[in-house]
Amino acid sequence: MYSISDVARETGFSSHTLRYYEKIGLLADPLRLNGKRRYTEGDIRLLRFIKALKSTGMSLEDIQEFLVDGCLMDWIDSGRERSAKVQKRMDILQKHLLTLQEQRNEIEKVIQLTKEKLEYYQEVMEENENER
């Protein structure tokens, strides 16, 4: 079991953020021993997953929607209900993938412009050296 400060250190989220995630329901209320939060390895894995999604720009609302049904491995629903839940997750990830691809395209444009600017500056430097 991990304290909130242990989890903050392990995941890079602040204690304040962890409490906020509990408040909005993104993270289940952890077990409490003597009034202190105690987290599991599973909580840490979930938080690392949340961090990965956040780092790619997924909104907290989409992350929350993605996680609303809990762990896929815990589902005991009928095949039809499970399929609907999986489809919902796929839709969220497909939407996010489109956003990531758009971001990648924008970054590639900036990289190309930066290369062109560097080439121009290199030419200016060479012209200056030739004038000496």
pLDDT at 84: 83
Residue type, position 125, single letter: M
**Average pLDDT, stretch 113-123?**
97
pLDDT at 69: 75
pLDDT (tens digit, 9 = 90+) per residue, 67-104? 887 666 566 667 777 788 888 889 999 999 999 999 99
pLDDT at 72: 64
pLDDT at 123: 94
Q: Which has the closest alpha carbon to 95: 55, 66, 68?
A: 66
Q: Which has the closest alpha carbon to 64: 93, 31, 27?
A: 27
Q: Which CATH number fits domain 1-58: 1.10.1660.10, 1.10.1040.10, 3.90.1150.10, 3.40.50.2000?
A: 1.10.1660.10
Q: 110: which residues sit within 8 A by CB, 6+ positions away?
A: none
pLDDT (tens digit, 9 = 90+) per residue, 11-53? 999 999 999 999 998 898 889 999 999 999 989 999 999 999 9
- Say what the pTM is: 0.69
Q: Are 4 and 37 in contact (CB under 8 A)?
A: yes
pLDDT at 68: 80
Q: Are 31 and 38 in contact (CB under 8 A)?
A: yes
Give CA–CA dist 101/99, Å, rounded. 5
Domain ranges of the chain: 1-58, 69-132
pLDDT at 124: 94
Alpha-carbon distances, residue 93 vs 20, 62, 63, 65, 98 (angstroms) = 24, 9, 10, 11, 9
